[in-house]
Amino acid sequence: MTLRAIGGLATYNILVFGVGSGLLWGLGGWRFWSDLFRLAGVAYLLGLATMMITLTLALVVGLPLTLATAAASGAAIFLTGVGLGALRGNPRPTLPAQRVRVPGLSLFVALFVAAIVVFLEALFRAGRLASIGLEWDGWAFWVPKAKALYFFGELDTEFLFALPPWTPSYPPGLPALHGLAFHAMGSADASTLHLQYWFYAVGFVGAVIGLLATRVRQAILFPLLLVVLVMPSLVYQFVSVNADVPLAYLVAIAALLVVLWLEERQDWQLATATMLLSGSILTKREGILLVACVFLAGFAASLKERRTLWPRLAIAVGVAFAITLPWRVWFMEKGLPSDGPDSGYLGSFGYLERAWPAFELVVMTFFDTGLWLVVPILAGLAVGLAIVVRAWQLSVFTGVFAGAAFAAATWAIWANTALTLTPDNADNPIVRLLGTPILVLALLTPLLLERAWGMAPRVPPQPAARWWKWFLWRSRLTWVIVAVAAVAYPGSAIVGYSGQTLPGGLPRFPSATDCVVPSVSGQRVRLVVGYAGSYPEA
């Protein structure tokens, strides 16, 4: 990993953000520059999704994946946004008429914001130092596909057939993005590629805050967001070079946008969600099931207003799935294996004895606090509270999505007869299958709690203890706590971690020669490619 690679990766992600910003403006998502700052995470994820869509279409029609193709794709998306904005009569972006004020934070909230900032700083360090040695999916097919696109600009069918048998028909959206990341870094550097996942995480966190900070009170949003970020299952995968976490980001933000569209009826919300969901399908094959769950929940939650909302939802469904059809036609025409279950879509009914054990496995994994902490339990309690205050639309969306996701995960495990019915991640992908639904429910929980809080009967305020008043007092001065925390983490890395006997100092970027030690005459030479806890694991 070099400074040049990190700088190239940062530039690449800034350009992706610019592409998404142009399209988001055309869809009507922002008018003022302050709006763009607030929705920067949404714009970035929109840029990722639309770049995956256009690059996949380019590969299908035979265009090589080169910097020129990427530049043309990005420019086409950006100009499409500008053209849409002109047709819609969107005003040119300006500064807001009134001066933007930095929101105050209570001491309670500031501590959680500071913790989130430090977490993201630590995640950057984790991405910078990560290795691909133990990431089987990464080195087995995700990185090889990205390297093939980087070196040759295309996915040759002979190469695809040489990959693990269930992976050739996996969509090329994420490998295409990573192929461009290699171009930005200047080499096919699989170690530095881990850092790309840090940008994904920052974009996701920014999107959550941008969408919910004006709709959910701080004391609900930031503690819950921190709990989500430290879920053990998510922490384990944050910078792993696979598609599960990016898929979860896209589906979760899209589901949140669909919910907001149902409540606020702003067209840009549904349009952006549609692009994110289409990108989800081109990220991983499970995306089809998850996108269907989101749309099914949307139809159920808008049942009372079906005459006005269902036609628009139906158009969104058609667009989201139609965009991905060229890839499906391509891999079927090339004779690649189906991306369906090994028993077939209807053949699963010949294995009904697997259905109930598969459902039990889904339920057991869903409520495993060792994987998700208390997030599923909080989501269930939040739905119950929202029902009590009759926040029906949001409650129905959440409940139907959860039920559909349960059914989809059960069917996926049941229908793939080669999978053993065990929670062991090495033999069954149930944890990865449930990761996205859990993240969706985690993002809906703050909205559910806000509805319950806002619609609950008011009681006369009770005098609070003096120390509690001080703890909840809001001021812009508490941003100092966030700033100190942001400086303290890298500062401690420079000074050194005395508790871990690490010497500290500025980051080092060793060259190839620094990693080579001359052999000693008459002694054995050991080549280390990775570490494992035991010889059987290795």
pLDDT at position 422:
85
Q: What is the DSSP letter of 106?
A: E
pLDDT digits (tens, 9 = 90+) for 74-104: 999 999 999 999 998 888 888 776 777 778 8
CA pair distance 416, 414, nearest whole angstrom:
6
Q: Examine residue 498 and state whether it is found in any structural domain, yes or no.
A: yes
CA pair distance 491, 220, nearest whole angstrom:
30
pLDDT digits (tens, 9 = 90+) for 154-210: 988 888 888 888 788 899 999 999 999 999 999 898 888 999 999 999 999 999 999
- Ranking 324-328, 455-459, 472-476, 508-512 by mean pLDDT, the lowest is 455-459
Q: Examine residue 490 and state whether it is found in any structural domain, yes or no.
A: yes
Q: Examine residue 94 and state whether it is found in any structural domain, yes or no.
A: no
For 113-220, strand residue ranges (E) read none
Q: How distant, in Å, are the alpha carbons of 215, 234, 391, 392 from that of 450? A: 8, 25, 10, 14
CA pair distance 453, 215, nearest whole angstrom:
12
Q: Is the pLDDT of residue 263 over 90?
A: yes
pLDDT: is 34 or 23 the higher one?
23
94 in helix, strand or coil? strand
Interval 30-56 mean pLDDT: 94
Q: How distant, in Å, are the alpha carbons of 23, 267, 414, 417 from that of 344? A: 39, 38, 11, 10
pLDDT at position 535:
42
pLDDT at position 25:
95
Interval 118-130 mean pLDDT: 86
Interval 488-515 mean pLDDT: 64
pLDDT at position 87:
92
3-state secondary structure 351-392: HHHHHHHHHHHHHHHHCCHHHHCCHHHHHHHHHHHHHHCCCH
H or E element that contains 438: helix 430-455
Q: Examine residue 96 and state whether it is found in any structural domain, yes or no.
A: no
Q: Is the pLDDT of residue 22 over 80?
A: yes
pLDDT at position 496:
61
Q: Examine residue 27 and state whether it is found in any structural domain, yes or no.
A: no
Q: Is the pLDDT of residue 360 over 90?
A: yes
Interval 241-252 mean pLDDT: 96
Q: Examine residue 499 and state whether it is found in any structural domain, yes or no.
A: yes
pLDDT digits (tens, 9 = 90+) for 392-401: 999 999 999 9
Number of domain units in the chain: 1
Q: Is the pLDDT of residue 461 over 80?
A: no
Can you name the residues that pair with 32 across neighbouring β-strands? Answer: 94
Q: Examine residue 503 and state whether it is found in any structural domain, yes or no.
A: yes
Most confident of 4-8, 339-343, 508-512: 4-8
Q: Is the pLDDT of residue 364 over 90?
A: yes
Please give the backbone phi and psi of residue 390, each rounded to the nearest 5 degrees, phi first. 65, 40
Share of the chain above pLDDT 70, in %: 88
Which domain does 471 fall in, by range? 466-513
Q: Examine residue 479 and state whether it is found in any structural domain, yes or no.
A: yes
Half-sphere exposure of 161 (CA within 13 A, CB side): 6
Most confident of 27-36, 309-318, 479-488: 309-318
390 C-beta neighbours (distance < 10 Å), count = 10
Q: Is the pLDDT of residue 500 over 60?
A: no
pLDDT at position 163:
87
Q: Is the pLDDT of residue 536 over 50?
A: no
